[in-house]
């Protein structure tokens, strides 16, 4: 059941990312300096790579939950939120600041790991 829960948790976060960036896509592209002419939506590599990264994060999140003795949907979701908000998002902020990108990317890109990892924790908590 472990691998199934990791795959489902990864899928939940990946779909969340698709919805999130679908909602803020134009603003995100502007902040990144991208246009419809400079972005290749037909290239599958970012989508495949993104899902593989979600699998890695979901696997590690499952490990963290198990090693910490965290059980239950609520505790697992809160742990996921904490990991996304207080571990992943600060790294994103650091990259944005040093990359001299628009600071609006901090919140745009920071919501993804916070929300995605909350969902990962929720899904993993269901199967624990």
Instruction: Look at residue 95 and tell me whether its pLDDT is greater than 70.
Output: yes
Mean pLDDT for the chain overall? 96
- Domains identified in the chain, total number: 1
101 in the Ramachandran plot: left (φ > 0), alpha (ψ -120 to 50) or beta? beta
Instruction: Look at residue 50 and tell me whether its pLDDT is greater than 80.
Output: yes
112 in the Ramachandran plot: left (φ > 0), alpha (ψ -120 to 50) or beta? alpha
At residue 1, the pLDDT reads 67
User: What range defines the domain where residue 67 resides?
Assistant: 2-127
- Show the tokens assigned to 98: 């040093």
């Amino acid at each position: 059941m472990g691998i199934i829960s990791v795959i489902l948790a990864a899928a939940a976060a990946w779909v969340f990312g698709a919805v999130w960036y679908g909602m803020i896509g134009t603003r995100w592209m502007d902040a990144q300096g991208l246009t419809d002419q400079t972005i290749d939506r037909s290239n599958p590599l970012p989508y495949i790579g993104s899902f593989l990264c979600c699998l890695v994060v979901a696997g590690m999140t499952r490990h963290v939950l198990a090693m910490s003795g965290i059980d239950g949907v609520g505790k697992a979701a809160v742990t996921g939120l904490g990991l996304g908000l207080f571990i992943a998002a600060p790294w994103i902020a650091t990259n944005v600041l040093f990359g001299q990108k628009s600071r609006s990317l901090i919140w745009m890109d920071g919501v993804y790991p916070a929300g995605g990892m909350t969902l990962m924790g929720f899904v993993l908590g269901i199967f624990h």
